[in-house]
Amino acid sequence: MSKTKDVRQSVEAELVFDPLVDSTDITVHNLGGEVRLTGTVPSYLQYLEAATAAQRVGGVTKVHNNLEVVLPTFHERDDATLAETANNVLLSNIAVPVGVVATADNGDVTLNGVVRYGSERQAAEQAIAGLTGVRGVKNKIEISDDADPVDVTLLVSDALDRNALILDDSEVDVATNANTVILTGHVRTWAEHDAVIAAAWMAPSVYDVRDDLYITG
């Protein structure tokens, strides 16, 4: 059995195994470890979870998520109701700073506001990802840029050195361009990859993280 077929079948099996994903209408394509997901899912949360499930499979080096969210009729919400629900959830989430607001347009939720940490920006998106009626999320939250890029580079590098998930034989280089952190090098698994990305977003005033990491598998 070819490695290409192994990876595709393994991803298909993982999607079936994951209780948070309805894989009925998902097709998996694989080209040398780069996996592309096509088809439809009934919620935005499943759109995200399907990609996460594919990343768990050994041999997967990149996931292209081309799934479309097609809501069941009974899950559709008018924009006013969806926006009100999203804003109430944001206000009740302690990880999301006051001032982050949501608007809705045909089920697509847009987030606006200003935060200091990338983790706060991500927390806002995660807070509404599972809401009924969400077809997609556009995260336009800005991050204040009052940190010294040199300090940011050191903070991220030190965080990676402390992280138990990132093994010694992984080589990650950290550079900064203004307030964008640029990550290069290689890690062995998606768990290491996600740990590196999360550490980069934790530094103050990081506006963007450019992921040029290679996963060896």
Mean pLDDT calculated for residue range 78-82? 97
Kindly state the percentage of the chain with pLDDT values over 90.
Answer: 55
Question: Residue 81 — very low, low, confident or very high, per pLDDT cuts 50/70/90?
Answer: very high
**How high is the mean pLDDT of the chain?**
89
Instruction: Please state the pTM of the whole predicted model.
Output: 0.77
**Structure confidence by residue, pLDDT tens digits, 183-213:** 999 888 888 888 888 888 887 777 788 888 8
**Structure confidence by residue, pLDDT tens digits, 144-172:** 766 666 677 888 888 888 877 776 666 88
Distance CA 204, CA 68 (A): 34
